[in-house]
Amino acid sequence: MLERVLYLQPYITISYDFLNDVIIAYWKGEQTLETVKEGCERILYHLQDQLSSKILNDNSEVVSVWDDASEWVAKDWFPRLRVAGCRLFAWVESPDVFSQLSKEKTLDFGVRQIIVTSFQNKEPAMAWLKAMR
């Protein structure tokens, strides 16, 4: 995997995997409505900038509830991702139950025209994205 870091903050690192044409978002620590919105906007920007259609969204190091952002992510951000060309979204879950519940709440609002698949760790998530050319 050949990655270039595109954006770096204490709560998120966004990189681009050149070989697999995947935007990778590594979320870290506690998340708030503000960090989720800022991180999501940066992911969208870099998806458009790289002309990619695949995102690996890694929440494995998230340690908090962020359900106050769930509706915004589902109803505002995901539709804009779709318009920007996102087709595949591999979501690596956090071991934190509250973060998992926040993700489930987001998906309960409904995501259309993007295939979202959940994984327990990064390796199968990336393998799925590679297989879904």
The residue count for the chain: 133
Torsion of CA 123, 128, 129, 133, to 10 degrees: 140
First-last CA distance in the chain? 16
3-state secondary structure of 80: helix
Structure confidence at residue 11 (pLDDT): 98
Q: Which residues fall within 8 angstroms of residue 97, CB to CB, at 6 or more apart?
A: none
Tokens found for residue 58: 């890694």
Structure confidence at residue 110 (pLDDT): 87
Structure confidence at residue 113 (pLDDT): 93
Q: Burial-class residue 52 by CB neighbours within 10 Å (0-12, 13-18, 19+).
A: buried
Degrees (nearest 5) of the Cα angle 86, 91, 94? 155
Domains of the chain: 20-131 (3.30.750.24)
pLDDT along the chain (133 residues), means of 10: 92 97 97 97 98 97 90 96 98 90 88 94 97 87
Tokens found for residue 35: 């960090």
Partnered with residue 3 across adjacent β-strands are 17
Structure confidence at residue 1 (pLDDT): 64
Residue type at 121 in one-letter notation: N
Tokens found for residue 5: 């870091």
